[in-house]
Chains A and B, each alone.
Chain A
């Protein structure tokens, strides 16, 4: 068990039915997350990173969404083959999720205590007092002052940062092994963002919690994550430990992403990747990035590149990288 990865996603394909046709938002996305690590998942808006994290919990709205294929192995069990009830049991208990908008991800008409106790009691037999004790403990763990007051407060009575801490506390009440964090700091201002990241890093270390951290902020990745997966147009195109990725970005898209971080480019000008993300309804053949890639060759238009290991903990899907076909 120790060497099987906690989460192993293989060839995940998810599509959404739209009026314009079927949009293949994920196309054979693969990703491995090891126990105890914080894995960053980065990419532009619309690249499918949020869909990937929601697919793990099987909470993609269906219709219009549909998981067409692939496997999601969590501790060796394929979540996609799990009966509905077993899957529900897993949610919030073994795998939890926090979201981008702390303003809207708590129910406005119930108190924090009501919502937190509900999660505790959905997964184990606990009296109201026992559930309360668990909630208070978790609220203290996310360093919320006056946890009793927070418990009896309604979400609108708390600030954005406090709400996000409440969310984290709520999601960790059952001590899950995996936390999916879908851009949890994007809606917060920078100082609060720093506090939330610190809390997550601390809890991850203390509880041996694995985090899949979805973001589009390379700075956050550098600060928090151990490894990173870069997604482009529904596929994972490069996976590496954080140091290697920033030192030797290999996929042209990753290079573009890193070059476009403000302050890194020389000359003080912002570098941008030309063009825009291709439509998932009619994606380009071959490598999906070839339409924006300055170095694309014929092979890029023809064949989908496979993941190639270029260093012990560094894989990339590009025809042009060392060991690639052309």
Chain B
């Protein structure tokens, strides 16, 4: 129960954070030189046409008034209307967020499924072959630019080998599965449509791998170093001296202790994955928020930029809260 009260307190504390973020984003996006109205009507349009667009979107009002209007809408769940496509921003985000979320989730699973075992192996067999392999994988991962990696993956697996599709979430001719979670792989699975599941999954592999690689490297290194630190602890000697098997010593006694720094880094990575999918989405023509926000920035679509930033910040806050809650389960010394 104490943990529920804690979660509630943290959610309350998130409100001023999000208000702060909204003010900052509002100021910065409006400080960018340029006039969205002019961008809409084109360079040859008359002054009157520009003015009428400005009026239509309330851009002729002073900044504080614009902000208050925006916030008044926000309280009722209205994120405004996109200047670019005249659709409500909430509708756009609902369309694009699931794609990004699916990509991020797949990358995270990949990061953890490969990074944790690789890190443990590297720690247990320190300075032996497994460790060197893990080190090379990590260094390459950290130092490979995402755009280059994405292009190389496309070149190899799409163009030359034709093993995997190169763009989008599904083939152009396929219809998406019934919308349950918005994650195509999961929805296809729930619908029992194996062909579609295969298709959605094969579309997901390259972008997910591309997006995860940097964080995979980071997680591998963190797991390795925290594992090495934990394996030097007295209670590990105790566990060995008690006749427990090596697997039990490593996977039970050492692993749970090494998870705390790993969870911290995973939380940070997840936040970055969500916000950092822009390059990957662009390369693989993945219809997610990253691509949406780039287009919005290019056309100075303030409501869209604001909407994206707020959603991303809320996700950050939620992830950090999740991390803190997991800490309490991992470490009995942490009490909220």
Interface residues of A, Cβ cutoff 8 Å to B? 54, 57, 59, 88-93, 96-97, 99, 101, 104-111, 118-119, 122-123, 154, 156, 167, 170-171
Contact = CB atoms under 8 A, between A and B. Distances in A.
Contact of B241 (A89, A97, A107, A123): A97
B333 A123 contact: no
Contact of B332 (A90, A92, A99, A109): A109
A154 B240 contact: no
A57 B241 contact: yes
B234 A104 contact: yes
B331 interface: yes
Contacts of A123: 243
Q: DSSP class of B's interface residues: helix, strand, loop or mixed?
A: helix
25 contacts: A54-B237, A59-B237, A59-B241, A90-B243, A91-B241, A92-B241, A96-B242, A104-B233, A105-B235, A105-B237, A105-B238, A107-B238, A107-B257, A108-B235, A108-B333, A109-B332, A110-B256, A118-B248, A119-B243, A122-B243, A122-B244, A122-B245, A154-B332, A156-B333, A171-B242
Q: Across chains A and B, which 6 residue pairs bring their CB atoms closest together, nearest first?
A: A91-B243, A92-B243, A92-B242, A104-B234, A107-B235, A154-B332
Interface size class of B (residues with CB under 8 A): 20 to 34
A118 B238 CA distance: 12
A54 B237 CA distance: 10
Contacts of A101: 234
B259 to A, nearest CB: 9
Most buried by A among B242, B248, B330, B332: B242
Contact of B243 (A88, A104, A109, A111): A88
A275 B238 CA distance: 35
Contacts of B242: 91-92, 96, 118-119, 122, 170-171
Given A59-B237, A101-B234, A88 B245 contact: yes
B253 interface: yes
B57 to A, nearest CB: 55
B239 interface: yes
B239 A109 contact: no
Contacts of A109: 256-257, 330-332
Nearest to B329: A109
A293 B240 CA distance: 40
Contacts of B241: 57, 59, 91-92, 96-97
Interface in B182-238: 233-235, 237-238
Given A91-B242, A122-B242, 7 more contacts: A88-B245, A92-B244, A107-B235, A119-B243, A123-B243, A154-B332, A156-B333
Nearest to A154: B332
Interface of B: 233-235, 237-245, 248, 253, 256-257, 330-333
B235 A104 contact: yes
B128 to A, nearest CB: 10
Contacts of B331: 108-109
A151 to B, nearest CB: 14
Contact of A108 (B244, B248, B257): B257
Contacts of B244: 88, 92, 118-119, 122
A106 B242 CA distance: 12
A88 B239 CA distance: 11
Contacts of A99: 234, 237-238
A91 B246 CA distance: 13
Contacts of B235: 104-108
Nearest to A108: B333
A108 B238 contact: no
A307 to B, nearest CB: 29
A97 B238 CA distance: 8
A22 to B, nearest CB: 18
A190 to B, nearest CB: 23
A50 to B, nearest CB: 11
B258 to A, nearest CB: 10
Contacts of A104: 233-235
Nearest to B246: A88
Nearest to A173: B242
Contacts of B240: 59, 91
A104 B253 CA distance: 13
Given A93-B243, A107-B239, A156 B234 contact: no
Nearest to A97: B241
A292 to B, nearest CB: 32
A171 B241 CA distance: 9
A156 B237 contact: no
B248 to A, nearest CB: 8
Contacts of A171: 242
A110 B233 CA distance: 15
B194 to A, nearest CB: 41
A106 B234 CA distance: 8
A210 to B, nearest CB: 16
Contacts of A156: 332-333
A257 to B, nearest CB: 27
A92 B235 CA distance: 14
Given A88-B243, A122-B243, A123-B243, A106 B256 contact: no
Contacts of A93: 243
Nearest to B254: A107
A108 B234 contact: no
